Chain A
Amino acid sequence: MPNSPSPSGPHDRDAVITGIGLASCLGAGIEANWAALTDPSGFTPVVDTDSFAPAMVHPIVPLELDKQIPKRGDQRQMEPWQRVGVFSAGLALDSAGLKGNADVLSRTGMIVAAGGGERDYAVDEAILSGLPKAADQGGYLNEHLLGDVRPTLFLAQLSNLLAGNISIVHGVTGWSRTFMGEEACGADAVRIACARIAGGQSDAVLVGGSYNAHRPDVVLHYEMGGVSAGPPFAGIWGRQQHGGGLVLGTIGCFLVIESRAHAAARGAAPFARIDAVRTDRSRREPGQATSNASAQLGTMEAALDRSACAVISGASGVAAPTQEEAAWLATLGLPVRASSTAFGHSLEPVFPASLALAALAVREGRLFNPLEPAEAPMEGTLRQALVTGWGHWRGESLALVTAA
């Protein structure tokens, strides 16, 4: 298999992470995020409990968009999820030292994990208010959609237009794919990027996504599903004491993944090597997700050094899968951090963001602070991290990263 773990030394076709762009409620850029995660006084979650009460969301810090999206015209053509994404993609290219490198960027591919974009909420509300009183309801809906919706809003709603905007703003034009499907698609994006690199089909790929949680329609969606956590705020593991649930978070996260040879040829220092990425699915009968995860881990055992390893979990907080994952993680006996306690749960970008934290931590050689009382501190050196990605509804993923 092209992305099998390689316990031996470095190989030219290793997939290495050479750039990380991260913007979250903890800060813009990896330095700000790492500082918040390693604050000597402990971790403080950033949560907005007011805007969508009783639901909570993790808001993103204000972004200096001009730094990554210099043309105001481009900014105006996007809605927030795209701005956050294009901004983070720019951070990743800066981090990799590729920004503006037209030669490499014209060969660089892109796999974006995305949902859909914002709506015009005022128009929706006005139409819903007027419809019941309209004599001709169909005609009323058509008239107001035609007359009141901004023509270019569609381009902010299409899933693939985050990728389109990254091509336009940053010149990443080798090839471009967008994967949809909540948490699982973020893991598949990374898996296929790594497989292409291992198989010699690509040398450099930009992978990631963004999510805007500050949207009534997405909060509504998870409330319909009965999977939205209520107050008071607690971490992913702690909230299992009172029913669990997810708390959405606004985030942008992109990774530049390259072949080791390509990175070395241009003098780029990798954060970490991605030893393996596995993705699978199940119907989520009790024990099925565990069975998938155990099988995935089994394929990585040869490369795993448990003495210097931790887990970055992408658990959502939704009760059944989170509790099953917690039980499986307990059998590993490794320190665990739940990325969605730090950033909020952001569906498509959760896996890239968890992988970013793993890569940062192994580069620093230490795990960051516990994010809540259920997480144990880790002394000693960190060389490896496992990254789990169990979707709140479907999809089980696992990756292993090692210090490069």
Chain B
Amino acid sequence: MRADTDHLGRPVVVITGMGIITSLGQGQAENWRALTSGQSGIRRISRFPTTNMRTTIAGTVDFIPVAEQSAPALSERLAELVIEEAIAEAGLGTAGDFPGPLLLALPPVEMEWPQREALAAASGANETVTYDDLRRAARAGGFEGYYRRFLFGSVGENLATRFGTKGSPIATSTACASGGTAIQLGVEAIRRGETDAALVVGTDASINPESIIRFSLLSALSTRNDPPSTASRPFSKDREGFVMAEGAGALVIESLASARARGATILGVLEGCGEAADGFHRTRSSPDGKPIIACMHHALEDAGLAPEAIGYINAHGTGTPENDKMEWVGVSAVFGERAGSIPMSSNKSMIGHTLTAAGTVEAIFTALTLKHGLLPPTINYETPDPALPVDCVPNLARPAKVEHAISNSFGFGGQNVCLVIGAA
């Protein structure tokens, strides 16, 4: 039986509840079924007109209604639903009273075009509209709801109120590594003995015209719009960019001692977390891969494991030419000759890139991979890239018993997080 403390004498941290929504559907069961049958959640965008856009597809979550659509509104709603699923599975606390802090990975919040247009209309300005006009309309009143909605703290506050988490909620952003960072914040708080349990959530529902166009302007997105399901092609020679997507993942994590004491079912073990910042460039990895390599090494050291112990890698695998190349550089440096034979698949081939949420969504998929003994595939893998000799579990799920896996997250701004997750 696993001891309550790890190789450094710290409390072992385990997962006891998980909740997930992606473009594949709502809940663990539906997501796992779709993911392991190689289904794509990428679809043509119907939320807003895509006229003149180079990319017209995304992994939108269109099946969850919200009253006034905005990124924070839908992000908050997805978070509520995944938290409910995770808490129900964990059976921890009571309704509206969760015994630990909230650690939230959240996309940056800002007012969107419908709100700007409403202010402009209210201002009565005719020929030209200026910010002075918008401000005049604001001072006339009636826009307190926008102010509240677009505070960076609003999503965390609302969730903390609804679920009764303890203390000040943390909303973190390390771009596409945010979900990993949120998990790490929770693991560290439990290891310090500040709390026995924490509620970790990553959520991102920020598909709107401007967010798509921003990534388009950086040439980061796939423009393979037809058919949408083929657009995300991690590790393929003809990969050309990622596909933006929405989703959310919540994890109830707690000390193993606490979980055992209350007889909770252990779903997975958060064995190690590693991070390393890259000072090379705003959007590109250091060409020598050093920060990515250091990040994986830190995670393995933190877990007290040698690279040989790792049986599966849940890749960051965005499907951009740069990311997949650099991830392979990192994996081959850390794992040496074994690199090409460790299965390493990308969930993003099916669900797209859930950005802020990716770290939590993919940690959940990694835990499910260990639990079910089934490796989710990388779909759309038709043209191997000879420069990336990975075993990406091409196109079909594969049974495999894995004890320890890695989940990688690398973000714009050089913020990298790697998690080592162990079977229960």
The answer to whether A184 has its CB under 8 Å from any CB of chain B is yes
The answer to whether B127 has its CB under 8 Å from any CB of chain A is yes
What are 26 residue pairs bridging A and B, where the CB atoms are less than 8 Å apart in the complex? Answer: A116-B110, A121-B131, A138-B50, A141-B209, A145-B209, A146-B217, A149-B213, A160-B174, A160-B412, A163-B415, A164-B277, A176-B174, A176-B277, A177-B185, A179-B171, A180-B109, A184-B168, A188-B170, A201-B191, A216-B131, A216-B134, A281-B160, A281-B167, A393-B148, A393-B151, A395-B153
- Top 6 nearest A-B pairs by Cβ distance? A138-B49, A164-B413, A225-B147, A139-B51, A216-B131, A181-B153
Tell which of B157, B217, B291, B413 has the most Cβ of chain A within 10 Å: B413
Q: A164-B413, A180-B108, A393-B148 are in contact. List 6 more A-B contacts (CB 8 A).
A: A138-B48, A164-B415, A176-B413, A181-B152, A182-B153, A221-B150
A394 to B148, CA, bound (A): 11
Q: Is the CB of A225 within 8 A of B209?
A: no
Q: Is the CB of B168 within 8 A of A187?
A: yes
Q: How many residues does chain B have at the interface if contact means C-beta atoms less than 8 Å apart?
A: 83
Given the known interface contacts A1-B194, A146-B216, A154-B214, the answer about A124 and B131 at a Cβ–Cβ threshold of 8 Å is yes
**Could you mark each residue 111-134 of chain A with 1 if its beta carbon is under 8 Å from any beta carbon of chain B, else 0?**
000111000010011001101100
Q: Which of B59-67, B113-121, B235-243, B313-321 contacts A (4 or more CB under 8 A)?
A: B113-121
Q: Which residues of A contact B275 (CB under 8 A)?
A: 175-176
State which of B128, B168, B414 has its C-beta within 8 Å of the C-beta of A281.
B168
**Could you mark each residue 172-201 of chain B with 1 if its beta carbon is under 8 Å from any beta carbon of chain A, else 0?**
111100100100010011011110000000
Q: How far is the CB of B45 from chain A (nearest CB, A)?
A: 11
A residues contacting B by CB (< 8 A) are 1-2, 52, 54-55, 77, 110, 114-116, 121, 124-125, 128-129, 131-132, 136-139, 141-143, 145-146, 149, 151-155, 157-161, 163-165, 167-168, 171-182, 184-185, 187-188, 192, 195-196, 199, 201, 216-217, 219-227, 279-281, 283, 391, 393-395, 397
Q: Is the CB of B147 within 8 A of A222?
A: yes
Q: Which residues of B contact A219 (CB under 8 A)?
A: 135
Q: Is the CB of A181 within 8 A of B213?
A: no
Q: Which residues of B contact A397 (CB under 8 A)?
A: 168
A222 to B148, CA, bound (A): 10
B residues contacting A by CB (< 8 A) are 48-54, 106, 108-111, 113, 116-117, 119-121, 127-132, 134-135, 138-139, 141, 143-144, 146-148, 150-153, 156-157, 160-161, 167-175, 178, 181, 185, 188-189, 191-194, 209-210, 213-218, 275-283, 291, 411-415
Q: Which residues of A contact B214 (CB under 8 A)?
A: 149, 153-154, 157
Given the known interface contacts A128-B129, A223-B135, the answer about A182 and B152 at a Cβ–Cβ threshold of 8 Å is yes
Q: Is the CB of A160 within 8 A of B413?
A: yes
For A155, give the chain B residue with the smallest CB separation.
Answer: B282
Tell which of A177, A178, A223 has the most Cβ of chain B within 10 Å: A177
Given the known interface contacts A129-B129, A159-B108, the answer about A177 and B192 at a Cβ–Cβ threshold of 8 Å is no
Q: Is the CB of A223 within 8 A of B139?
A: yes
Q: Which residues of B contact A178 (CB under 8 A)?
A: 172-174, 415
